[in-house]
Amino acid sequence: MEQSTVLKRGAASAAILVVVAAGWKVVSFFRALLREVYERKQVSRLEDVISLEQLDILARASNVNLRRSAEQLLLERVMRNTGSLRQLLRWCLCGDEEEVMKAATVLCVLVKSVDLRNHPWERPFLWTLGQMLVNSFNQTRAYTKQAKDRTITDQIRKLTTCALFEIVCDSSPKKEILCRDFPEILSCILELALSTSCKEASRYGLFLTHQMAIHDVLRDQLVEAGGIKKVAQTLIQNQGDPMLQRLSLQIVVLFAAILDIDSKVTLRTVAKEKTITPIVVCLKSDDTECVYWAVVLVHEFAINDVCKDEICEVYGLLRSLAQCLAASESSQQRLVLRVICFLGLKNDGFKSEVLHCTDLITRLPVCYASGDGDVVHWSLVLTHDLAMAGRCATQKLLECCPQIFPGLISVTGHEDRAVRRLLAETIGFFCCDEHNLLKIVDSGVLKTVLQYAVSGDVELVFWAGAMLLNLAMTSDDIKLEILKAGGLSVIMELAIGEHDNPQISPMAAKALAMLGFTDKPLVVSTACDSDNARVKINEKIYHLNKPGLNILIWNTLTSDSASQLHYQVKNVWDFKDLNIKLPSKPADEGNLVIVVIRGKHAQAYLKALKDLMLFSEISAGNKQGRFELQGDEMCVIISTLLASGLVSVSHMAKDTTINMDFEFPYNDVVNHRVAEIVVVPVIKVLFSTPPESPISKVTELELLEVLCRHEVHKDTILNCDGFIDYLRSIILQFSTKLEQEEEYPPIYIAHCLGALRILSVLSVHGNCQQQLLEQGVLVHVVNLLFYLTGLWINTVLDTALQQEASQVDPLAMGDSTSIKPLVEELDSLAGEPQLEPEQVELTSITLSDGRQYDIQSGTIRRTRLISSIAEDSNTPGAAESRHQWGSASDHVGDIAVSGQQVSSTPVRPTSMSSTQLKVHEYNEMFSSLARFAVITVSNCTNATVTIPDLVQSQQSSLAQCGALHVMWSTLLCAGAILKNSIALPVSSTIAKLSCANKSSSFADTVVLSAKDSDKTPALHLSADCLEVRNDSWTFESARATHWIDTSHVIEDGPQGWYYEASLKSGSIMQIGWANADCKFEPEKGLGVGDNKNSCAFDGGRCKIWNGPVTEQVNNEYGVEWHDGDIVSSLLHKNGNVSFWLNGTDMGTAFTALPLSQCWSPALSLSTDQQVRFNFGATPFRYPLPTGFVPVDALAAVDKKTQPVIGTEPLPAVRDYLQNLDEKNLHPQPSLYFETTLTSSTPRPFTLGLQTLTSQRGKAQEVCCTVHDNVLELPTGMRLQIYPTDVSHLTVGCGLLLPPGAVFFTVHGRPINFLFAFPSEELGQEPLVPSISSCKAEVNFGETYFYYGIANERENRLSMAALLHDYTEQRSLETRTVNEIT
């Protein structure tokens, strides 16, 4: 109990102690607090006791701490004293300027030293400062007492703007309040920024301007206050002060970004203040921000195309930009690159300066590797734009920075699709530089090209295909690099793959064809001894060191090892279980198999291979001991894998040590793989669908059309049984549709076009022509032309004669509704003169045999001459035509009359307007059908000249099937575009089929040679061998028949030789001279000027050529030529060569050609190019230089002058020509052609019309004969030719139906006689031209006739229709239904 009481008392005592201790602490706390409050009051009393004057003294003390304490004490006292603040603000606005300055000082200190954010005095301070600044610019109204010291005003402005800047900085509401309360303050700020009296005031004025400019709303007000001009002036004023220039630059950039104001207007306003140079100079500043804003502003000028020329002219611009590019971050690099790109647009001079700025160019590879996508993009854009300038630009880029191309290659895998496409195009520009092409290829460009070829991006795949084709058409070294890189496999995939762009497959096929022409070998090197065995193929080394049987299978498609096999047995009896198998998949055929046998049991390994090896006659060698090895001998076998799993052995070597190099013809390897993987499978795919099937065969036909240009693939195609019949069936099926159906699906048109394109290539080769005739292909091609021409004529006549359609027999019109789907773009004839029926009163015509043709009955009207295709062939009168004598005084050319020689050039008839000529245009697809059909027939005709045994049969077959008539009809129907492409082959074919002397030679005159050694096969030569055209995609060449050598260089001989070439196109051609050692390789793009044995001028590219392309340096020459220009080539006796263009001497192109060799005129043509030569047989367009002679003079010794016929006076031709001033009526011909005879044309020369040989017997003809000075008419009457016409005479021949009579013209004027055939029926039969020689220029309608009436559109249509009817009649007479089907 007691113990419990004691414990309770102890606890109570402890509690009391705790309470006492806590109370003591509380008391101590309050005592300390009271002491602190007391001390503060004492200090406050002390501060209050200190007067303002004392504070002023303390504020000026030398002791810094004392001074700061006094200032702080003053600020706190002022801010606590409301009355003082009010008084301060009143002093700021008082009328005494000096007092205002003092108050402004205090206020500025307050604003700078006190945080006024959300302070109750912030708004009054802002308003007061704004008013003070406004007052300072209007002192006469603001101050009643102005200070004598004028600097006080500047001090007030400085203090005021400083304080305003502190308040409004980065506070949009305060800026808005200030400008709302004081609208004129913006003008004051701008004026202050331009102040020159106080630098500090100007600085703070610019600070405030910048603050206002970064506010979207106030920026517009600033512009309205004239801010653009004034800020631009500050750029000049503040030169040397990076900070102020930086602000000025940024403000201008902000002004240019205002959406409601045209940036160009803003920038032009800035430029007017002569700020361009200061802005560019800022690029050199040490202030990085100043440099950045200078770049931004220059960028604005560049992208807005303002003052770019002025910027480019500033000295040191590129050096400064290069420094910015090297020393800046990606954001600025991007801008610098954009600036250079935009400054270079349409400014070749600036681009040239960029190319010569090494510091800039060497920085580009670093930009390619940037992690910023925009920097990579714009560095590529810059490189692209520079390289686009041409070969000189790419050479300079590579010269300044050899690492630029490896840098470009590093961008190959960039994730941005636009960057990859830009890279592709840039690489393409570099690859146009033939001089550095091999170096570029070695840099790894093929890796990029091949990677993009399988990328799946349609545009990149298309680019890669084009690049591979361009590379494959260059040197053999490049072809070899493509093959080494595994390009053969990729190109094959492009050729046979399916693509959204239909051009990819044909391009790849062309590349395959080009690779097949490489002359570089595939070298297999082996080095084998007892320790090692190495095989080296295409610079790659493969080790076959294991003992036993080692087999390397090398893939010729990918140019890499396909597999390595190794066989080894321990005991001889184990060989019976040795099962050696080689791959036998179709894709493996053609791979190389290299076998190395070393070590123990080598003899047994070799015998184990016996059943797998096939030996050709070349590799057979000594059969005895072929499978025997002696002692330590090893064996190396090089072979090719066959589809059966066997190998065709090419070489076998046995020795203890083997070091050898074996060369495979790489072209054989390529062509074999292409034939097996592309050609044969494509033909199988083609044969898998019937010819008439609507399933598309377009891709297959395009591939075969390209590949059959190669001799190997052509033979592969022709060896496929039924291929020619398949093409014939396609043409036949489409012809049948033309005859019977109203709708012609485009797929059938495309199939027919593809078949014709293949035939046009095959028909170039002589061994194919007879096959085409024997299998009836040419007959069906002629049929196709017949139907196409008929449809076109009916369409045009239906359109032109719609007003009289009801008056014409429907059978004669044809079913016009069936034609409309064919011609989609026939021009409307509205507004053109319609072909109204003409009525002419005629008397009688006296025929040559004295009979009278009486037409007293009255009128004859022209009607359509073509009968319906579906019309019964026995319908009479299907070819009726109208004939009348009409005045031709407005259409004929002038000739020599009354002894005065005047122009004899044909006059373009006014009736054939450009609008009318457009009616002659086919739909594009049908125009192509006609073109390639004509080319096919023409090829068969032209090539037969060199095959005498086939001349008679082939040309007779062509004539009998109506080829002459239908091709002539096609020419007369064709519009300008189609006619331009078929005129030469058509006229050449007609002339050769019409020539009586099929074997006439050109030994007595200089022409283009038709020999295979002098002309590449795809060229078309005119009948007189003076005009040439190339329709192939290869680079075709030809040279003349006569040569110039040292035998012609004599002391008193000519000073040189001259010829002219009249251009009928204006693209890439090489015209010049070649010697006998010059070899043409059209598939490789090698022609005249591409080797040392020739020289040429190319006006399409303005270059001269005299050797391999890679050796041509600084070969720019002359001016660009165009269609219709005359190129003159002059070979001086000293060996110099020069060229004229349209009579203007372009200077010496080549010097000192070795005349010890034989030189002849020559040319090479790219696709669709055409040229006509004048070697001197006709007058030149431009006079020869003194001492020069025509090239035709080389053949002068071979020419024989025909004797003058008769000595008695003869009547003159001109006496029997209708005079131009007489109103006689000239005949409108049913057929007409003209021949121009020159001094080189063999005399006598006959021309006229004849019947075709038929069942009635020998052909009958009505012809006139031209001697040197006499024109002999069919009746035997002879007329004297005017002397000036002997060397250049144009004689025409026409047919009139009815009465089936022939008339002749001289220089376009008709002779007043008609000449009939022996019987009237013969004149109604199908007739053909008859000429005695092809050595004259014959015009069948490809150019304007001298006889102007024949040029009239309705007459040309009439002639075309009659020829079409002739074709139909020949078809019915000479071909049976079985032959057609």
Task: DSSP for 645-707, please give it.
Answer: S-EEEEEEEEESSEEEEEEEEHHHHHHHHHIIIIIHHHHHHHHTS-TT--S--HHHHHHHHHH
Q: Is the pLDDT of residue 1346 over 70?
A: yes
What does the alpha-carbon distance between residue 1065 and residue 981 come to, in Å, rounded to a whole number? 11
**153-171 pLDDT, tens digit each:** 888 888 888 888 888 888 8
Identify the band that residue 919 occupies on the pLDDT scale cut at 50, 70 and 90.
very low
Angle of the 746-762 helix axis to the 924-943 helix axis, nearest 10: 20
H or E stretch at 373: helix 373-387
Query: How many residues does the structure list for the chain?
Result: 1381
pLDDT score, position 384 = 93
d(CA 947, CA 912): 42
Within 13 Å and on the Cβ side, how many CA atoms surround 869? 26
pLDDT at 1138: 95
Distance, in Å, from the CA atom of 209 to the CA atom of 700, rounded to the nearest integer, reads: 73
Confidence at residue 1164, expressed as pLDDT on a 0 to 100 scale: 95
The pLDDT value recorded for residue 1357 is 87
Query: Among 46-50, 794-798, 1078-1082, where is mean pLDDT lowest?
Result: 46-50
pLDDT for residue 806: 40
How much is the pLDDT for 902? 29
Q: Residue 370 has which token pair?
A: 């940037």
Q: How far is CA 201 from CA 155, 164, 194, 1279, 1348, in A?
A: 8, 12, 9, 109, 90
**Per-residue pLDDT averaged across 71-94, rounded?**
74
pLDDT level of residue 974 (50, 70, 90 thresholds): confident
Please give the C-alpha separations between residue 1193 and each of 413, 762, 1024, 1053, 1176, in angstroms, as whole numbers: 64, 38, 17, 12, 8
Cα angle value 256/260/263 (rounded, 5°): 30
Residue 1102: per-residue pLDDT = 92
Beta pairing partners, 597: 549, 635
Indicate left, alpha or beta for 1143 from its phi (over 0: left) and psi (-120 to 50: alpha): left
Collect all residues with Cβ–Cβ distance below 8 Å to 399 and sequence separation of at least 6: none
Burial class (CB in 10 A: 0-12, 13-18, 19+), 1228: buried
**CA separation for the pair 1176, 31 (Å, rounded):** 134
Query: Comparing C-alpha atoms, which of 761, 752, 758, 754 is closest to residue 780?
Result: 752
On the CB side of 201, CA atoms within 13 Å amount to: 23
- Residue 913: pLDDT over 80: no
Q: Write out the two tokens for 519.
A: 């002359």
- Give bridge partners of residue 563 from the DSSP assignment: 553
| pLDDT tens column, 472-485 | 888 888 999 999 99
Q: Is the pLDDT of residue 6 over 90?
A: no
For residues 1176 and 1191, the answer to whether their CB atoms sit within 8 Å is: yes
CB-based contacts of 1129-1132 (< 8 A; 24+ apart in sequence): 1129/1058, 1129/1059, 1129/1060, 1129/1061, 1129/1071, 1129/1072, 1129/1073, 1129/1097, 1129/1161, 1130/1056, 1130/1057, 1130/1058, 1130/1185, 1130/1188, 1131/1044, 1131/1056, 1131/1057, 1131/1058, 1131/1073, 1131/1159, 1132/1055, 1132/1056
Cα separation, 997 vs 490, whole angstroms: 53
| Predicted pLDDT of residue 917 | 33
CA distances from 890 to 409, 1224, 1340, 1356 (A): 67, 13, 21, 17
For the cut 90, the answer to whether the pLDDT of residue 883 exceeds it is no
- pLDDT (tens digit per residue) in 805-864: 444 332 232 333 333 333 333 233 223 333 332 322 333 344 444 444 443 333 222 222
**What's the whole-number mean pLDDT along residues 552-570?**
87
pTM of the model: 0.77
Q: How do the residues of the chain divide into helix, strand and coil, expressed in percent and rounded to 5?
A: 50, 15, 35
What tokens were used for 474? 């260059």
- Cis, bond preceding 1298 (omega within 30 deg of 0): yes
Confidence grade of residue 14 (pLDDT, cut at 50, 70, 90): low
pLDDT at 1340 over 90: yes
Q: Report which of 241, 259, 180 is spatially closest to residue 212, judged by C-alpha positions.
A: 180
Q: Is the peptide bond before 1244 cis (omega within 30 degrees of 0)?
A: yes
Model pLDDT for residues 680-732, shown as the tens digit of each residue: 999 999 999 999 898 999 999 999 999 998 889 999 998 898 999 999 999 99
Whether the per-residue pLDDT at 803 is higher than 50: the answer is: no
pLDDT tens-digit map of 368-419: 999 899 999 999 999 999 999 888 888 889 888 889 988 999 998 888 899 9
Strand order of the sheet with strand 634-641?
560-567, 548-555, 592-598, 634-641, 647-655, 613-615
Query: In this structure, are strands 1226-1227 and 1126-1132 parallel, antiparallel, or unpaired?
Result: unpaired
For 296-334, what is each residue's pLDDT tens digit? Answer: 999 999 999 999 999 999 999 999 999 999 877 888 999
| Measured distance between the N- and C-terminal CA atoms of the chain, rounded to whole angstroms | 146
Q: Which of 392, 660, 421, 652 is nearest to 523 (CA)?
A: 660
- DSSP secondary structure letters along 758-804: HHHHHTTSHHHHHHHHHTTHHHHHHHHHHHHHHHHHHHHHHHHTGGG
**Contact in structure between 1219 and 1226 (CB atoms under 8 Å):** no
Q: Higher model confidence: residue 971 or residue 575? A: 971
By three-state DSSP, how is residue 329 classified?
A: coil
Q: Which DSSP state fits 1329? A: E
Q: How far apart are CA 871 and CA 739, in angstroms?
A: 11
608 is written with which tokens? 């184990």
Mean pLDDT in residue range 1151-1158? 87
